[in-house]
Every structure is written in structure tokens, then in C-alpha cells.
Amino acid sequence: MKNYVQQLVELFGHNDYSAVTRKKVQQWLADEEHAAEKREALRVLWEQVGEKEMPDGMQQSIRRIQQSVGIQPAKSIGNYQLIIWRVAAILLFAISSVSVYLMLGREHLEKDLVECYIPTAEIHELTLPDGTRVMLNSKSTLLYPERFDGKTRSVYLIGEANFKVHPDKKHPFVVKANDYQVTALGTEFNVNAYPENSELIATLLEGSVKVEFNNLLSNIILKPNEQLVYDKHTKAHNLRMPEIDDVTAWQRGELVFSNMHLEDIFTSLERKFPYAFVYSLHSLKKNTYSFRFPKQANLEEVMRIISQVVGNVNYVIKGNKCYVTSKE
């Protein structure tokens, strides 16, 4: 059976198919039957995706997604040219489909899911079928069923969102993200679960929530103004008492960075502004920095202040890119 699965996954990965066919294969990949063999086949095919001749930025993006789904990058094993990029893109979508399926549960496979994606530099508010209000940050995706008719009201989040949950004691509201989930009855909380970040963060504003992490083997009940930070790589967690005004700043269009490395700050800026940052990691200091910028601040103003505070970096904004270099 293992060889058969391997052959099917390789055939799917190395050819172009219609959207209908891709959807059927993704559903097959997500089905529980022969799950172990399918995961192994995906892992092997992923490792065949080398890093030679990739466009600028592609390697970094693939590494980030490899980390987010728990697959270690492999050494390049050959020159696949264009096929590498096609297989990489298909694999990312296929693995993402499997992850979402496992998070939302088998009962949702035959239901219509609504996908809400927020583009760069935008924030959007929506109301779910149960009356729960959600504020979604830029470059975030929320998946939810057209109607909640199960024992729980489960949604899947990629990115950051604030939830004001409609009370329903009989049907707990559950936000799932990777091996991290937050369960509430009637409350307001913020979840930060961008796949490129190593930390998953839940902050309670009002009410009470249960945060489950470490493959849902551990859990903590949060009190108002408490924040649980979980590192999905090291599996470590800690409880904080953050400034709630900083946690909700993004909803007002403000930019707040607290004790962050420059790389993480640049990643956040790529969500806020429609610019890609180009820099060399070894040229950035390992120090952490804190900044607060008002809603009306543009990228030029933000980078001018950052360069003045850091002291050893230059920047040039050209086209849709921001080039950052070291003065040393």
C-alpha cells in the first residue's frame, strides 16, 4: 500500500490538473484511511523539493512553511528547475488542506466552508453565523462552516483575529490553529497564530477561556488580561500580563512592537504595508527593540525611526520593496 500511495502522490505533485481533480486528491489526502502512508509520501516528496535555482524569497518562504507544519528542510538533491516550484506550491496547498481538515474535524469535510482572507494592509470585521463578531488582521485567513450545527462552533485561524463570542453554553466556541486551540463560552479574546511566527499567542480580554497546546496535551484556563505564549517549536509556554492596549493596537490601525527582533518587525511590516523587505539575516543585530507608531504613519516614517534607533542600518524604498543593509 505504501508504494501505491507514494506513486499517487508523486503523480499528483509532478503534473498539472484541474481544480476539481486537485480538490478530490486533497480530500483523499485528508481522509483517515492509510493516513500514515499518505503523510510519509508527502514527507518524501517534500524532501525532493530542492533549493537550487529558486527565485529570490522563495527559499525563505518555503523554510517558514516547513517549520510551521513541522517538516525539517532537506538538502538539495538535484536540479529540478521549474518542476521544483510547481511541486512546492502543490505540496504547500495539499499539506495546508490536510492540516485544516484535521483541525476542523471530519464532520466538516462534506460541509461548505467559508474562507475569509484579508489582504496586506487591510483589516476586516465580520459576523459569523452564530452572531460572533470577528476582527481579522491583515494577511489572515479564517475558515468556518456556513452554519454551526455540531456540538461545538469550531473555526480555523491562520493569522491574527479578535473574537467577541456570542454566548451559547451548550455549544462552546473553539478557535483552532496548528496544535493550539482556544475554547470559550461567551467572551472576548485575541489570537495571534501567523504560520511564519514561532509563537502562538492567546490573550483574554473578558470572560474565561481554556487554551490547549502541545498537541492539545496541555491546557491553561486564562483570566481577564492574561496572555499565554506557546512556542510551537520548543513546546515551551509562559503566562504573561501584557498591556491590553498594545494587544489590541492593530484593531485601531496602530503599530506596536514590544521587545522584537528586526526580522520579526520586518515580517509584521510586510503585513501592514504592501512592500516586501529584502535583507541579509547575518547583517541584522540580534538585539530586540520596542516601537509604537500611530495609525497614519507610512513606511518611510516608520523606517526612518527604526534606522535612527538601531543605528547601523540603511534602507531604500524602491518600487514595492524595502531594501535594508548594514552600515558596517
CA distance 146 to 228: 30
At 129-170, the pLDDT tens digits run 999 999 999 989 898 988 898 889 999 898 999 999 999 989
At 70-95, the pLDDT tens digits run 444 444 434 333 344 444 444 554 54
Ramachandran area for residue 70 (φ above 0: left; ψ -120 to 50: alpha; else beta): left
pLDDT of residue 31: 58
At 122, list the grid cell: 487591510
Model confidence band, residue 21 (pLDDT cutoffs 50, 70, 90): low
Q: Of the given ranges (12-16, 247-251, 308-312), which has the lowest mean pLDDT?
A: 12-16
> 291 forms bridges with which residues in the sheet?
257
First to last CA, the chain: 57
Q: Does the pTM exceed 0.75?
A: no
Residue 305 has pLDDT above 50, yes or no: yes
Query: Residue holding cell 523539493?
Result: 49
Domains of the chain, each with CATH number or no CATH: 2-103 (no CATH), 111-247 (2.60.120.1440), 254-326 (3.55.50.30)
Average pLDDT over every residue of 31-52: 58
Residues 6+ apart with CB under 8 A from 295: 252, 253, 254
At 112-121, the pLDDT tens digits run 678 888 988 9
Model confidence band, residue 179 (pLDDT cutoffs 50, 70, 90): confident
Grouping H, G, I as helix, E, B as strand and the rest as coil, residue 241 is coil
Angle between helix axes 35-47 and 82-104 (nearest 10 degrees) is: 150
Model confidence band, residue 12 (pLDDT cutoffs 50, 70, 90): low
User: 325-328 contacts: CB < 8 A, separation 24 or more?
Assistant: 325/279, 325/280, 325/283, 326/280, 326/283, 326/284, 328/283
Per the prediction, the chain carries an average pLDDT of 78
